[in-house]
Amino acid sequence: MSTSVSDPLGIFGGTFDPIHIGHLRLAEEAREHLDLSEVLWVPAGQPPHRGGPTVSAGHRLALVRAATAGHPAFRVDPAEVESDQPSYTVLTLERLRGLHGAQRPLVLLLGADAFAGLPGWHRWQEIFSLAHIAVAHRPGFPIAAASLPPVLAEIFAQRRVDDPADLAQAPAGAVVTFAMTQLAVSATQIRQLLANGKSTRYLLPEAVIAYIHQHQL
Ligand code: ATP
């Protein structure tokens, strides 16, 4: 295997409606565990895989900015929010590959539920030639081959690597899993709490709670 030209860059996309501690711990534990130099947060504009989010893309972007502002290795990429195109991960990865060159290891971060849904994504098989994939364990979503769609289970078996250090040795193509602190929190749950006037304290960063109240989201 060739030596890497630079450190792996983590890429973390999502609707983030709103961003919560599950997202933040995923990114932080991926950064440490996979030795990522940075994590690029990419909030989706118009998510093609789900019903429309309840909050505008501009607010979701602002919430991601507020939540990640204090972290020196977190950066926010507004391109999907600012684009008129649908938010397809493969397009974002093509753009980032163009920006970072052919050799930079790119690591797409996914929760286990998102990984299991990959075969429904636009041009999904091309993602493996653009980036590595790192899959975080998430309560309720086993990563075992038996619980994945067969076509994905096969690719997982072929591409799986056990040592995160392997990600630095190639620009793309490997799949690694990692065990993050298990947090059974979801944006759906947060939206329900907010709708019912219940507390979201300690599930969301203080800055996110303040923004939600300030803008009455
Ligand atoms: P929703 O409940 O609205 O579907 P969500 O909480 O799953 O939202 P998304 O913005 O859809 O959040 O997820 C972005 C990424 O974060 C996905 O890859 C998802 O798997 C991952 N993720 C979200 N919450 C967790 C969690 N608690 N543990 C691990 N991964 C998570």
Query: Residues 74-127: pLDDT tens digits?
Result: 999 999 999 988 999 999 999 999 999 999 999 999 999 999 999 999 999 999
Which atom of ligand 1 has the smallest separation from the CA of 182?
28
Q: Does the beta carbon of 15 sit less than 6 angstroms from any atom of ligand 1?
A: yes
Q: Does the beta carbon of 22 sit less than 6 angstroms from any atom of ligand 1?
A: yes
pTM exceeding the 0.85 threshold for the entire prediction: yes
- Cα 15 to ligand 1 centre (Å): 8
Query: Residues 60-78: pLDDT tens digits?
Result: 999 999 999 999 999 999 9
Task: Report pLDDT for 1.
Answer: 40
Query: Residues 170-180: pLDDT tens digits?
Result: 999 999 999 99
- Cα 30 to ligand 1 centre (Å): 14
Q: Is the pLDDT of residue 53 over 70?
A: no
Residue nearest to atom 13 of ligand 1 (CA): 14
Task: Report pLDDT for 4.
Answer: 45
Residue nearest to atom 31 of ligand 1 (CA): 111
Q: Does the beta carbon of 116 sit less than 6 angstroms from any atom of ligand 1?
A: no
- Cα 172 to ligand 1 centre (Å): 23
- SS3 for the chain, per residue? CCCCCCCCEEEEEECCCCCCHHHHHHHHHHHHHCCCCEEEEEECCCCCCCCCCCCCHHHHHHHHHHHHCCCCCEEECCHHHHCCCCCCHHHHHHHHHHHHCCCCCEEEEEEHHHHHCHHHCCCHHHHHHHCEEEEECECCECCCHHHCCHHHHHHHHHHECCCHHHHHHCCCCCEEEECCCCCCCCHHHHHHHHHCCCCCECCECHHHHHHHHHCCC
Q: Does the beta carbon of 27 sit less than 6 angstroms from any atom of ligand 1?
A: no
Q: Is the pLDDT of residue 25 over 70?
A: yes
